[in-house]
Amino acid sequence: LIQDNPRLNTFTRLLIPFLLAGVLAMVYPQILGSGHDLVMEAASGNLMLWSFALLFVGKLLFSSVSFGSGAPGGIFFPLLVLGSLIGGTYATFASQWLGLPSGYISNFVLLAMAGYFTAIVRAPITGIILIFEMTGDVSQMFSLSLVSIAAYLVATLLKSRPIYESLLDGLLRRRGEQVTQSAGERILQEFVVSHGSPVHHKMIQMISWPEHCLLVAIRREGEELIPKGRTIIMAGDTLVTMTDEAHASSVYDRMENLCLEQPEEIVKKTFEKETGES
């Protein structure tokens, strides 16, 4: 609503979350930041039930206002943080009132992260693999799969629209591109950036991205980065993009060309290597 309001200019839209962040910094600073500390606190089981509920409501509202203003940022990791708070709330309630051992709170936090992410993004496999990579525990794979599949089925039956599908359509409309209803399901694709590729060591805002494509996240050395205009893409980064079925093939080919090392770079390296050996 903030971003699409014609009565608000860019300065006013960005001023709203800026002022709100200042107020929260004085009143409840735990809501600010990436949310990594919130996930760790939720998994530790040291928070009270009312703290979980308050943190979830505050984080949800602040994330909505920040992203809705059009400020540089993302919602990939905030989704996981909100999921962890939901899991922590349920597990803490079950521990205090239903006799659940407190040692299981961290398990519920991880399962809730996978379920919440899957329900909103509508990507169960991505949710399973993402949480598995964060934990590195194979024993959680079966339970993560069950929760993710259940969340996917419930979200599908309720006909809730995937969040990145809505964001992609909004992005296309702002670009003046036609949004077709027959484009099919949205697809998440991953691409590893090679050294010497066209996007290597360039800022996101300087790259000519494919049409019908939305950069969702950047994974670097085990961390999730929020894509921003001035974010510099490095070799070894994994770019997570979203597109639709109708354009998946063309977007994939274009992204492969952007992320793979170009032939001239390979020839140049080979020549330099042979020259050095001789």
Encode the chain (278 residues) as per-residue pLDDT tens digits: 555 555 666 677 778 888 888 888 888 888 887 778 888 888 887 778 888 888 888 888 888 888 777 665 667 788 888 999 999 889 888 888 888 888 888 889 999 999 998 998 888 888 888 888 777 777 778 888 999 999 999 988 988 877 777 766 666 666 555 555 545 567 788 899 998 888 998 999 889 898 888 888 888 887 777 787 888 999 899 998 888 788 888 899 999 999 987 665 544 554 455 455 54
Helices 49-68 & 36-44 angle (0-180, nearest 10): 160
Do 38 and 151 fall into the same domain? yes
Which residue type, as a one-letter code, is found at position 231?
T
At 7 the pLDDT is 67
CA atoms within 13 A on the CB side of 133: 12
Do 98 and 35 fall into the same domain? yes
The phi-psi region of residue 37 (left if phi > 0; otherwise alpha if psi is between -120 and 50; otherwise beta) is alpha
At 127 the pLDDT is 82
Do 192 and 262 fall into the same domain? yes
Give the CATH number, domain containing residue 207. 3.30.70.1450
Do 151 and 208 fall into the same domain? no
At 115 the pLDDT is 92
The model carries a pTM of 0.65
At 14 the pLDDT is 77
At 238 the pLDDT is 92
Measured CA to CA, the distance from residue 225 to residue 81 in angstroms comes to 14
At 111 the pLDDT is 92
At 24 the pLDDT is 87
Tell whether 175 is covered by a domain. Answer: no
Domain that holds residue 232: 183-267
What DSSP string describes 185-202? SEEEEEEEPPTTSTTTTE
The number of distinct structural domains making up the chain is 2
Using the Cα atoms of residue 159, residue 182, residue 242 and residue 61 in order, give the sign of their dihedral. negative
At 182 the pLDDT is 47
